[in-house]
Amino acid sequence: MKTVTCTAPVNIAVIKYWGKRDTGLILPTNDSLSVTLSQDILHSKTTISAAKEYSHDRLWLNGKEEDITKNKRMHNCFRETRALRQQLEQDAAQRGETLEPLSSYHVHVCSENNFPTAAGLASSASGLAALVFTLAKLFDLTNNMSELSRIARQGSGSACRSLFGGFVAWEMGSKDDGSDSLAVQVAPETHWPELEALICVVSDEKKGTSSTEGMQHTVNTSPLLQHRIKEVVPVRMAEMKKAIHERDFQTFAALTMKDSNQFHAVCLDTYPPIFYLNDTSRAIMKIVHEYNATSPDGKLKAAYTYDAGPNAVIYAPKENMREIIQLIAHYFPGSADNYFVDPYKLFTSTQDL
């Protein structure tokens, strides 16, 4: 029996992934780019043990056992990591060595998030990244993070970006088998220490339309999505990478807000429409624009972005954060649930329990 525990961080996209060209392999219709947040506040922590005695694969999520018999995505991750482990075992056998046949054992997975699950706070990203990273450690896999990201992608698309810290692109790739659809680090977590993120938890309720369901409705019905995929995202990806490399907050902020707005416009363009934002989300957008308008030199001081839920993430230089928190606290008194988070690196810890 072997047991390993790891944690993985949340990532919040600034160029959004929305739409799959292959739903089985989870291949996206466009590139995307995200910032990985500090694990100190938001993370998924996963413990996995493999044992000869286990009769089937089991999962406990936030202390409650889940039925995973029909969970294809988890099984994708099990299958792919076991195949890599099996290869290691076969290679070792050829050298006359014996590795414990972990690839043939069933696993027990115990995972918990220290933040609301499925409320648009990217719990699937950190959860599936933690699953794949912990399996890789359990099986002593030597594959690099981009290779592991290909597996995490098959658990949940955005999970592939949570295997890296800092600024991370998910390249959509062009191959039908998905072998070139993976995450790469654009810049490390140390690259832009002045940039910080404030997470405003507007609602911690489970979202009404899952991203899987929502995306496919959009792909099937939104003409705006086609424009976004072909004309908008390729240009924005190039501009965003340049802005990150140059630590150019003006371009970063404008692109981040425009891309979030277009993602939600695409949701509205879906028929019937999908709504993820609520009145509080829209009020926060207004506050950020009004705050930016107070800038004497016309420079942007903060940028909002929203995933598939009403919660706001505000990116801003550290020097503006205190003011932003005061503003939010002024308009939403008692909002004790605001998390103040540094974009930070992937921290991993492995331990035998």
Q: Interface residues with ligand PMV (CB under 6 A)?
A: 13, 16-18, 32, 124-125, 156-158, 211-212, 307-308
Residue nearer to ligand PMV on the CB measure, 18 or 164: 18
Task: Please state the closest distance from residue 27 (CB atom) to ligand PMV, in A.
Answer: 12
Nearer to ligand PMV among residue 50 and residue 346 (C-beta):
346
Closest CA to 159 of 187, 186, 131, 119: 131
The residues near 350 (Cβ < 8 Å, ≥ 6 apart) are 4, 5, 6, 134, 137
Q: Which is nearer to ligand PMV, 106 or 282 (CB)?
A: 282
| Closest CB to ligand PMV among residues 207, 301 | 207
Q: Which of 9, 343, 344 is nearest to 159 (CA)?
A: 9
Torsion 188-109-148-120 (CA) sign: negative
Largest CA-CA distance found in the chain, in angstroms, rounded: 72
| Bridge pairing between strands 167-171 and 58-61 | unpaired
Q: Please, which residue, 38 or 124, has the CB nearer to ligand PMV? A: 124
Minimum CB–partner distance for residue 12 and ligand PMV (Å): 7
Nearer to ligand PMV, 19 or 108 (CB): 19
Please identify, using beta-carbon distances, which residue of 85 and 150 lies nearer to ligand PMV: 150
336 exposure class (CB count in 10 Å sphere: 0-12, 13-18, 19+): exposed
Least distance in Å: CB of 308 to ligand PMV? 4
Residues 6+ apart with CB under 8 A from 95: none
Q: How far is the CB of 267 from ligand PMV (least distance, A)?
A: 9
Q: Which residue has the tokens 């003011």?
A: 323
- Measured from the CB atom, is 33 or 287 closer to ligand PMV? 33
Non-local (6+) Cβ contacts of 195 within 8 A are: 35, 247, 249, 252, 315, 316, 317, 318, 343
For the bound state, the minimum distance from the C-beta of residue 172 to ligand PMV, rounded and expressed in Å, comes to: 12
For the CB of residue 157, give the shortest distance to ligand PMV in the complex, in Å. Answer: 4
Cis peptide preceding 223, ω within 30 of 0: no
CA distance 156 to 340: 26
State in angstroms the smallest separation of the CB of 62 from ligand PMV. Answer: 17
Nearer to ligand PMV, 214 or 338 (CB): 214
The CB density around residue 90, as the number of other CB atoms within 10 Å, is 11
Half-sphere exposure of 5 (CA within 13 A, CB side): 9
State the minimum distance, in angstroms, from the CB of residue 136 to ligand PMV. 19
Q: Please tell me whether residue 6 adopts helix, strand or coil conformation.
A: strand
**Residue 187 Cβ, how far from ligand PMV at the closest point, in Å?**
18
Q: What does the angle CA 241 – CA 249 – CA 181 come to, to the nearest 5 degrees?
A: 25
